[in-house]
Amino acid sequence: HPEVCHAIDTKGAFRRYTTDVIATTAFGISVNSMKDRDNEFYIKGIETTKFATGPLMMVKMMLFRACPRLAKSVGLSFFPPATTEFFKKIVEETIRAREEQGIVRPDMIHLLMQARDKEGPSVHKMTLDDIVSQAFIFFFAGFETSATLMCFAAHELAVNQDIQDRLREEVQQHFAEGNGEISYESLSKMSYMDMVISETLRKYPSAIITDRLCAKRYELPPSRPGCKNVIVEPNHILLFPIYSLHHNPKYFPNPDKFDPERFSEENKDNILPYTYLPFGHGPRKCIGNRFVLMETKILIAHLLQKFTLKITERTVEPIVYTKKEFALQPVGGFWIGLEKRET
């Protein structure tokens, strides 16, 4: 409502959007966090993200990493028992209602119910806790990180009006071809949209670091001439500094510049493999990467159709990151202005 709101911290609005998307696709329930602003699903999600930050969480993560059996034996958990019980109750009631009423809905709960009902000597028999865990990790991984990606994308579009104008032209073309609607197919054809989101993920990766557990002995070549080879043994943990790779001028010249052209058809093949890792790589690549890209592109498309994104006196550029969070977050929030367009 630009007539009453000339500037907005996009994190609040986008987090409500991702809450509703995850609620319906992962848990099979419909909520409207924009209108029902204090609904329990949204409140529990906020509690989860607050609980997952701070020094206590750091200590827990170190204990889980160093002594996983001890952490499990003492019943250590990342989240408050009330939060765990809330999500378990939702899944349990949803499954019961679907079984009693024969409801079939194309979402994650249905897929997990199908997996639960599979039989065979090599099939793991899924329990309710298994199903709750899968649905919850989908929520936890996609709720905050997706909203943050959208915030950074909106920030860069507000700062770079030329990029915003070019992207809007592409969006309007596809809206016109779809008679005012955006389909999955048209989203897939938006090449400049893909370039903009890819560059956002390059400059602001959702995870600044990721890790992998070595399963087989491997010999790494020397890092520079004259150095020794490095032997990686099974059960060794390797850390991959995603943010550092994305900001290394050796791989991405002028890394602090927001430049979607890095991912154009002509340039993207020049990117050295495994230097761009917004979702990880290989068989353990983020399972929700296409999902996140789709919901982000839908949001940006509708925003550009209805608004011109602008900087305000509260917009900080270049962004200054807070030191109190695990993920990249700006000090003071993601403030931009929204000017309503005639459509």
Tell me whether residue 286 is annotated as binding.
yes
- Whether residue 205 is preceded by a cis peptide bond, meaning omega within 30 degrees of 0, is no
Identify the three-state secondary structure at position 279.
Answer: coil
Enumerate long-range contacts of 228-232, CB under 8 Å, 24 or more apart.
none
CA end-to-end span of the chain, whole Å? Answer: 15
On the 0-12 / 13-18 / 19+ scale of CB atoms within 10 A, 268 is middle
What angle in degrees, to the nearest 10, is found between the helix axes of 289-306 and 191-203? 110
Distances (CA, A) of 167 to 180, 192, 257, 283: 17, 6, 18, 32
State the DSSP H helix or E strand holding residue 239, giving kind and residue range, or none if neither: strand 237-240
CA–CA gap between residue 154 and residue 159 (Å, rounded): 9
8 A C-beta contact, residue 305 and residue 343: yes
CA–CA gap between residue 37 and residue 33 (Å, rounded): 5
What angle in degrees, to the nearest 10, is found between the helix axes of 81-101 and 108-116? 80
Nearest to 235 by CA among 74, 68, 57: 68
Nearest to 186 by CA among 65, 301, 58: 301
On the 0-12 / 13-18 / 19+ scale of CB atoms within 10 A, 27 is buried
8 A C-beta contact, residue 323 and residue 329: no
8 A C-beta contact, residue 116 and residue 126: yes
Detail the residues annotated as belonging to a binding site for heme: 286
Residue numbering of the annotated binding site: 286
